[in-house]
Structure 1
């Protein structure tokens, strides 16, 4: 079949270049543009209070840097609560002053809640039980002071604590400051009075697996008045705050009132699928209060998530302003007389609403509307394609065969793209041993896997034979619109992506028909100009946030995770969304163009493989995560370094070997003169590896090594002395032989230790952790978090005792030294005896920094462990 080749491929691409380059640039600009950060508390033009990023960051800086690492159970955690509670009391006084001086209906109530509790926390496919003692929350309720005004409330939540060990500026001190600043702005706004109450919850133990939010939800007297939740979080330090969970139509409607919406149903579907192994306090509010809400977080640059460099200096200017103004708008709307809070008294149902934010606009429509318009587009596409078929029948000997080849060409292009990108992933990770070479830049994955993805789309075209351009184009249109209908009828709102792609491709084919009728033998370039608009816009708008999340996430997916294949698949799918018209476009030209394109892309792919194979995955701002525990076993008297990592990047075993040589036991010289050097080897990680129980069940993702440490013969363990003894004992212990049961209180005493964990095997019939223990003999992990200075906790148990058995329990126990975390307790080095852990960590941290040139973030925790038969 002859072709009109007056416009060759290069000239054609040049004519399309305004579309191909402008749209990705425009979407990136929108994705990365933040509001100007405000410093003044009052708008100088309107004289009204305004949310000040400068004030929020000053609060975050004091919490994260002046007070420091606020891990639940530490002294710093207690100091953070004490300082912030005073800020809240000062805000309450200002509220009272404003109410009295203005006569407004305004009341601010404050609680410092304390309590004990327990809950089951299934995570990463594992079953874990949490217990907490004497933990606390800071709570404010702003209302109009009437019973009616307190009947329905919106809850906004953040957490005061940080995790092991990070200063937690973005996660979550920024959100803490935003909430306090929202309170100030609302109270000081003339005439503002809430129709419905606003509850501000600063919970004190999210990082110990959501204990603070559980405490509020299950024990606070005003919790039953909550109708909806806004949870503010951070998994990064840059960019716009992302709406990644919205659980009712009412709350999606509420979000439409924010000044800078940023979130789509795609993010909601991805997070809800469980693909991202993460969770927030939102879970507790859903489970125990049965309320709807919005989960919002800063997610860009999550390289610093739970890292030492989560500092105010690394928070992008404008990111705090963006989240704060959105949160403030939500509170204003939901507390107003137009709020739908009263309609949520009966709980909530899963939303059936499609929502998309684009270029500052927020579009939403119902699933019913989606089914109608998607179906209409599909049938309109069939009609349009049938109208275009006569032009093909005039040049094709077998029209039906040509149509089948069109579909095969389109499908093989999609599959070939995914397959070849994954082949390159295997080459990089398995053959060259250069796993995660793209890690230090979110968008470099497109450079590595983009060329093979396009090459994979073109290669099958060499073997399919002659196919009419219009048939491939039409096949893509029918597949996009048809799959959109099917997916939407399955209840998946993300079908809107396929609808938008199909709408643009439909428009391109319609323009082609209008321009040339049904007799043209080559499709107009206008077809591609129009047909590529929405795919490029949708694809790039999806690509930026998806890569922002998934590339840094690869650093904590586990050593065995096929991260290169995951990223290759993501890039190829995003490429198929952004450039669906590559297969028909290549059919415009002679076969020689296809052959040359394949050859050129093969060369480009080989070059990118070579370039990326020479790259180091890490640098000082995109670091490898390394976890090191210095554990003293008070049962055996042994001391070990336990070393692991959560990604499969190269050369980690070699690093462990060097650590063993530098810090482990010295070589042993035998009588015959032979020298025996300890060589660490990876050990099995499973639920019986109690060395890593402080990080259970996340520990399943780690690659563990174990190095014995030298200890002075004169060393006396403080954890075995009467004053500091770490002990597990049985209290009120009784065995009922007739019933075949043993009842006891398992009591844990842990002075100077925090985040203690016990693990044991038993068939538990009853306990006070929940009402539904597993009805089988199995392994149980129970993890504790308590307020600073609380050193005892317990579990009431009734376990099954088999005939002839003593019913004894073999209990593994481990805890973190409250004064043994580096760098959180670095200041203790100048205050007397810092202990074995800190003395080692000071040397080890400095050595690691030199050895890795600052390219690793090292978690250094002193632990005490043992085993007791009870």
Structure 2
């Protein structure tokens, strides 16, 4: 219901009546209704912030973003006697032009409203406050989050955050950024999330700059010096930022899944002793990945480094043993090593060329990105070509060199 009503407003570009009046009024109406039904265990405070400011973004070549009187709706849920520290949950209700922005980011606003509703009715007291930020200017290059974290008085109490985003429509929400450092945050997600889905590979790719996009995660990290978790819906990317990003395309299963995960992680953080002293746990990076969506493996990056060194040492000792032999055997072993390395390299180059030929052919016949709507088509189209080439090269290698 929340999602349908927000998207029914239509495109919500920053500065438009739809964004600054209709969306704001609707969100405030729902928040006030939740506040009236909350238990006496909690206290809810609501603030409308309209900050003005500017900042520079290095990844855009030193681009300076200036904003004036943008809108933030800030809700603080805390114990009746107050709380010194807080965890932030962030989404944005604005959208790019010409799209109702169901996934980006109305569904996150809907999930946050329901989480606020659930927590406010709970009889279990929280140890720390939970701040819900419905920010109204993310698509204008992350302006509202900057206005909040640098100017709002509640921002000083925030020790960690969860940012809800989208790079697709529906499906599983992926943890694709964490930290910086603060491995305890990853451990919190591992311990609390009911349906974990995370990948450190996604973090490495996103933070490398290959993907020309960014989220409010950067603002909280760089300007607020606050560690956090960045989640995003990633399926059906061909609908993202288009007029087809409508609420009917987001399955209720996806909304339920996201709600289960985020509610559990927020409750975990809001009752964690580590939140109050988060800066004391700021050390090292974490390698993390889920196993078939069943559970998440997470370990310090230094452990991965040690494993890499051990593997390299074993390989070095094995090769040294092969070299430290009579001269005739050494020459034979080195020849085998060079041949194996060369053939492996040729295999990968040929496979890459084959995939590129398929891609060029698909483009020439006017079907570029035709596979984007169905992921498994891309697997069969490119994966089959790659596998066939590897099998062919393996067969030729066996016949020419080893028979």
TM surpasses 0.5 = yes
The structure 2 residue matched to 1:71, chosen from 13, 19, 35, is 13
The structure 2 residue matched to 1:110, chosen from 17, 34, 46, is 46
Equivalent residue, structure 2, for 1:175: 108
Deviation at residue 112 of structure 1 after TM alignment = 1.3
Q: Deviations over 1:417-452 (max 9, x none)?
A: 1123223434544x6665445344333233333344
Equivalent residue, structure 1, for 2:170: 238
| Aligned counterparts of 1:165 and 1:127: Cα–Cα separation in 2 | 28
Equivalent residue, structure 2, for 1:196: 128
The structure with more helix, counted as a fraction of residues: 2
Map 1:274-285 → 2, pairs under 5 A = 274-285=209-220
Deviation at residue 197 of structure 1 after TM alignment = 1.2
The structure 2 residue matched to 1:323, chosen from 258, 277, 295, is 258
| Aligned counterparts of 1:433 and 1:355: Cα–Cα separation in 2 | 39
Deviation at residue 174 of structure 1 after TM alignment = 1.0
Matched positions, count: 392
Q: Deviations over 1:458-495 (max 9, x none)?
A: 34874797445xxxxxxxxxxxxxxxxxxxxxxxxxxx
Say which SS state the counterpart of residue 302 (structure 2) adopts: helix
Equivalent residue, structure 1, for 2:207: 272
The structure 1 residue matched to 2:95, chosen from 136, 144, 162, is 162
* Pair 1:211–1:398, CA change in 2 (3 A): closer
Map 1:265-344 → 2, pairs under 5 A = 265-336=200-271, 338-344=272-278
| Aligned counterparts of 1:304 and 1:433: Cα–Cα separation in 2 | 20
Q: Deviations over 1:515-538 (max 9, x none)?
A: xxxxxxxxxxxxxxxxxxxxxxxx
| Aligned counterparts of 1:74 and 1:463: Cα–Cα separation in 2 | 65
Assess if the C-alpha contact under 8 Å between 2:71 and 2:144 holds in 1. Answer: yes
Equivalent residue, structure 2, for 1:62: 5
Q: Deviations over 1:356-408 (max 9, x none)?
A: 2113111111122222333334455677899999xxxxxxx944423332222
Assess if the C-alpha contact under 8 Å between 2:145 and 2:216 holds in 1. Answer: yes
Map 1:794-813 → 2, pairs under 5 A = none
| Aligned counterparts of 1:345 and 1:80: Cα–Cα separation in 2 | 36
Q: Deviations over 1:151-189 (max 9, x none)?
A: 221100011112102111121111111111111211222
* Pair 1:436–1:185, CA change in 2 (3 A): closer
Equivalent residue, structure 2, for 1:376: 310
Assess if the C-alpha contact under 8 Å between 1:405 and 1:467 holds in 2. Answer: no
Structure 1 residue 421 and structure 2 residue 364: aligned?
no
* Pair 1:436–1:176, CA change in 2 (3 A): closer
Structure 1 residue 88 and structure 2 residue 88: aligned?
no
| Aligned counterparts of 1:241 and 1:108: Cα–Cα separation in 2 | 28
| Aligned counterparts of 2:185 and 2:358: Cα–Cα separation in 1 | 43
Assess if the C-alpha contact under 8 Å between 1:63 and 1:173 holds in 2. Answer: yes
Equivalent residue, structure 1, for 2:120: 187
Assess if the C-alpha contact under 8 Å between 1:290 and 1:347 holds in 2. Answer: no
Map 1:404-803 → 2, pairs under 5 A = 404-429=338-363, 435-457=368-390, 458-459=392-393, 462=396, 466-468=400-402
| Aligned counterparts of 2:394 and 2:341: Cα–Cα separation in 1 | 13
Say which SS state the counterpart of residue 140 (structure 1) adopts: strand
* Pair 1:182–1:118, CA change in 2 (3 A): same
Deviation at residue 61 of structure 1 after TM alignment = 0.4
* Pair 1:197–1:234, CA change in 2 (3 A): same
Q: Deviations over 1:216-245 (max 9, x none)?
A: 112111111111110011222221100010
Assess if the C-alpha contact under 8 Å between 1:419 and 1:456 holds in 2. Answer: no
| Aligned counterparts of 1:170 and 1:305: Cα–Cα separation in 2 | 7
Deviation at residue 137 of structure 1 after TM alignment = 1.0
* Pair 1:376–1:224, CA change in 2 (3 A): same
The structure 1 residue matched to 2:185, chosen from 251, 275, 285, is 251
Assess if the C-alpha contact under 8 Å between 1:110 and 1:141 holds in 2. Answer: yes
* Pair 1:381–1:128, CA change in 2 (3 A): closer
Say which SS state the counterpart of residue 120 (structure 1) adopts: strand
Deviation at residue 140 of structure 1 after TM alignment = 1.1
Equivalent residue, structure 2, for 1:619: none
Q: Deviations over 1:699-752 (max 9, x none)?
A: xxxxxxxxxxxxxxxxxxxxxxxxxxxxxxxxxxxxxxxxxxxxxxxxxxxxxx
Structure number with greater CO (CA < 8 Å, separation at least 6) is 2
RMSD of aligned alpha carbons: 2.9
Bigger Rg, which one: 1
- Gaps (5+ residues) in structure 2? 324-330
Assess if the C-alpha contact under 8 Å between 1:107 and 1:142 holds in 2. Answer: yes
Equivalent residue, structure 1, for 2:327: none
Q: TM-score with structure 1 length normalisation? A: 0.42
Say which SS state the counterpart of residue 409 (structure 1) adopts: helix
- Gaps (5+ residues) in structure 1? 1-57, 390-396, 469-589, 591-870
Assess if the C-alpha contact under 8 Å between 2:103 and 2:170 holds in 1. Answer: no
| Aligned counterparts of 2:334 and 2:318: Cα–Cα separation in 1 | 17
